[in-house]
Amino acid sequence: MVKQERAARTRETLVRAAAEVFAEQGFVTASIAMISRRAGVSAGGLHFHFGSKTVLAQAVEDRAAQELRGITAAAARSAGAGAVGAGAGGNALQALVDATHALMALLAQDVVVRAGFGLCSDASWSGAVDLRRQWRLWVEETVAAAAREGSLAEGLSPQDAARGVVAATVGLEVLGAYEREWVAPHTLTRYWTLMLPRLAAGGALEGLRPEGSTGL
Amino acid sequence: MVKQERAARTRETLVRAAAEVFAEQGFVTASIAMISRRAGVSAGGLHFHFGSKTVLAQAVEDRAAQELRGITAAAARSAGAGAVGAGAGGNALQALVDATHALMALLAQDVVVRAGFGLCSDASWSGAVDLRRQWRLWVEETVAAAAREGSLAEGLSPQDAARGVVAATVGLEVLGAYEREWVAPHTLTRYWTLMLPRLAAGGALEGLRPEGSTGL
């Protein structure tokens, strides 16, 4: 049991070290030697846990994808729980706001998530996981839910609204990799203060919190 | 003279071939052999014109930066010329719309510009030119000009407006590198149809053309 725990910790350390090296140098330049040195794990140990650099990159992407699923599920739950008031609707839009806050916070804090997204635009890597696509599909679903619950502004196409949000959040993610300011909570709060009056139906707007409903 | 023209054409061919290879594989994986083969120029010829792969990448960035300067200057001129009507203002916002249309069209059509932007998020490359920064500074200036001419919506912070536009356009650029739909003219027209009612002062809005004033 203790041995299993130690193995799990070593794997976690290796995934984190790989993510750091990928984020700094890109997939192709990153070497097994660099990653094992960074992790403080021998090259033999690395090979025992992950057969190759490719398997490590897949592990980084999988961990990031799992975090992303966790975020979107939690945002949907918390926005549902903190209901905005009978008839006002707006829960789906609040879930959208909450999830973007959680995503940007993760991008700022968790190098595995940052590296996972970074691999999306790394021309030297092509993985099975596409985090930006996963994010886009969730945003589309959530905006469609907002339209169904009547909280989307009248006359606004859900597709246009979703695309606008996806473009801006992907832009923040990309810019934030170099300048942390772009993924700071106040940057996102100001983005939603800009966007919500355009996206939300009149009745839904006042219940919405651009800073996120979980006080992020 | 003929010899000089031929040299200029060869350089142009090499820059384009390098851009194609960088866009497909990233800077570090791209090899001189691949680029010279793609260009139909001998490795010796490549070395004669560009000392190294680094010099070629710099040439790609410089060409892209020059195109970007051309776009923003032309948008400022054309929006100024097609004045929206006395007292209505809105020229700076129209310049912003026009420049984004011209930029997305270039990203869709010109691999040198696409590769130049791609190098910004290539972890294996660090150049002297930062196209996204150059774009951001122009957007900030132009939104500040809109605020001065009174065409920005009342109570809206120019900084927030500029950040929103920069985030979305960088997102479109990044997503468009893999899925051309994101940089298609109608995608951008819909983006501006979404944003302009939020960004423009009431009086300025009706003169603005989300599809661009140059009929792009």
Distance CA B165, CA B147 (A): 15
Instruction: Give buried/exposed letters for B150-182 (b at 16+ CB in 10 A, else e).
Output: ebbbeebebebbbbbbbbbbbbbbbbbbeeeeb
The answer on pLDDT for A98 being more than 60 is: yes
Overall average pLDDT of the A117-131 stretch: 85
Least confident stretch, A80-84, A125-129, A179-183, B94-98: A80-84
Chain A residue with the nearest C-alpha to that of B164: A191
Percent share of chain A, pLDDT over 70: 93
Name the CATH architecture for the domain at A60-205. Answer: Orthogonal Bundle (1.10)
Q: Quote the pLDDT of residue A126.
A: 82
Subunit contact A195:B122, Cβ cutoff 8 A: no
Q: Quote the pLDDT of residue B124.
A: 80
**A-to-B residue pairs, Cβ atoms closer than 8 angstroms:** 117
Mean pLDDT of chain B: 91
Residue B52: DSSP 8-state: S
- Residues in B whose CB is inside 8 Å of some CB of A read 22-26, 28-29, 118, 121-124, 132, 156-157, 160-161, 163-164, 166-172, 174-175, 177, 182, 187, 190-191, 193-195, 197-198
Mean pLDDT of chain A: 91
The answer on pLDDT for A30 being more than 80 is: yes
Q: Quote the pLDDT of residue B81.
A: 54
Q: Quote the pLDDT of residue A214.
A: 73
Overall average pLDDT of the A170-188 stretch: 95
pLDDT tens digits, residue range B147-164? 999 999 999 999 999 999
Q: Quote the pLDDT of residue B85.
A: 41
Taking the CA of residue B189 and the nearest CA in chain A, the distance in Å comes to 10
Which amino acid is located at A114 in the chain? R
Give domain limits for chain A: 60-205
Reference B119, options B47, B56, B38; nearest CA is B56
Question: With a cut of 50, which residues of chain B have pLDDT below it?
Answer: 82-89, 216
Confidence of residue A87 (pLDDT cuts 50, 70, 90): very low
Give A-chain residues touching B171 at CB under 8 angstroms. 166-172, 174
Q: Quote the pLDDT of residue B215.
A: 55
Q: Quote the pLDDT of residue A83.
A: 46
Residue B171 main-chain phi, psi, to 5 deg: -60, -45
Name the CATH topology of B58-205. Answer: Tetracycline Repressor; domain 2 (1.10.357)
Q: Quote the pLDDT of residue A120.
A: 87
| pTM for the full predicted model | 0.92
Q: Quote the pLDDT of residue A215.
A: 55
Percent share of chain A, pLDDT over 90: 78
